[in-house]
Amino acid sequence: MGGGWTVIQKRISDAVSFDRDWQTYGEGFGSPDGNLWIGNEMIHELTKDKKTSLYISITTDGLPLYVLYEEFYVANAENKYKLFLRGSVEGTLGDKMLYLDQVESGYILSGMSFSTSDADNDLWQNGHCAVVHKGGWWYNNCHYAFLNGPWASATWDNPWKDKIENGADVTETKMMIKRA
């Protein structure tokens, strides 16, 4: 995979809750040697030139699975930290964020604003995804990919649809970015 990657999200235990408010997700929380969300403002600053790749890995049963998105960036707070993905997608996890091979637009996360328990920016008409799923994320009509659910719990629904449908099976998640 080579060097030069910056970790923006990492989960290895239940020591840090990812069910946080808007301000906390904006500023970031956790620590680099444990569980971490680097902060939406920092993610925006690191990706605003739009020449950044996103690597996501999820480990389950000792097996790391991954997906690499060619282009990734996040808008500023004024634009609700909207997520953008473009370009090619490769890896063993399969694409559940950009959804290049699907027509189920209710689950495409590219173009979605970030939501937290106190900031409902999803498109779900029947509720509030961040409250129901107990974690901040870029939700559409909720998700088929969601790395910030209740750690190692069966209530963490669909960390990565079709590959990992139960959060109790997850032993590590990581999101990393690299400038092109």
Confidence bin at 50 (pLDDT 50/70/90): confident
Residue 76 falls within a domain, yes or no? yes
CATH number at residue 168: 3.90.215.10
pLDDT at 1: 63
- Write out the residue range of the structural domain in which residue 119 sits: 6-179
| pLDDT band for position 3 (cuts 50, 70, 90) | confident
Please indicate, yes or no, if residue 1 is contained in any of the structural domains: no
Residue 79 domain-assigned (yes or no)? yes
Query: How deeply is 65 buried, as exposed, middle or buried, from its count of CB atoms within 10 A (0-12, 13-18, 19+)?
Result: middle
Mean pLDDT (whole number) for 9-16? 97
pLDDT at 104: 62
Mean pLDDT is lowest, of 1-10, 12-21, 120-129, for 1-10
pTM for the whole structure: 0.95
Domain count, the chain: 1
